[in-house]
A and B are shown apart, each in its own frame.
Chain A
């Protein structure tokens, strides 16, 4: 089975801090994704990556950046945390290269519940 591991289940930070959320997958997947999930808004895509050192903006990238230095690891960075970034953050990965990505299911980690005080 695919294993997607997020480094923290719960995290509390202060406004203005730089926050790192880490995600590691063990299936040699090309594609990785970061979402945030808020009540009534469903899952919203922040950033995604389909190769090392490559990244693409999702629907709500403002206030976030990402890093993918190794294939198995995809980090989400909150450059200067704000209270409106309090949320559940979900990482996912999927296989498939060019021409096959959209057929692949995504496999999710257990999420990081981030609180910004």
Chain B
């Protein structure tokens, strides 16, 4: 069965430091992968998506993610974190059943220290 794992429930980084949030997926074919961000009290906002082609994907707010098929990973990165990046981040994969369902990871909460 398809699944998405975000190994880190909570991460704390200092403002200005680099960030990497991990995401591993389980899927037989080429996956359709997404990263979302959720600020406190808000809905989810799409950061970036990967369908095919270049394995390094650029998103909004200075985020990027790299698809590594050999590691079944789609890690999210940002070179320099801002205090406004504090939020919860969700990785998701498009379900193979063509229903439009997304399989979400459990989420990683990012705290940014001044």
Contact = CB atoms under 8 A, between A and B. Distances in A.
12 contacts: A33-B100, A40-B106, A42-B106, A45-B101, A50-B100, A102-B97, A104-B100, A107-B46, A108-B45, A109-B43, A110-B41, A110-B43
Interface string A53-97: 000101000000000000000000000000000000010101010
Given A109-B43, A113-B41, 9 more contacts: A42-B107, A43-B90, A48-B101, A94-B100, A101-B98, A102-B100, A106-B46, A110-B43, A111-B42
Interface in B22-80: 32, 34, 36, 41-46, 49, 51
A62 B90 CA distance: 25
A110 B99 contact: no
Interface in B76-100: 90, 94-100
Contact of B99 (A42, A43, A56, A111): A56
A26 B107 CA distance: 28
B98 A102 contact: yes
Contact of A48 (B34, B42, B100, B106): B100
A32 to B, nearest CB: 9
Most buried by B among A107, A108, A109, A113: A108
A95 B46 CA distance: 14
A41 B107 CA distance: 9
A4 interface: yes
Interface of B: 32, 34, 36, 41-46, 49, 51, 90, 94-102, 104-107
Contact of A98 (B44, B46, B98, B106): B98
Contacts of A96: 100
A23 B45 CA distance: 17
B108 to A, nearest CB: 11
Contacts of B102: 106
B100 A105 contact: no
Most buried by B among A94, A99, A106: A106
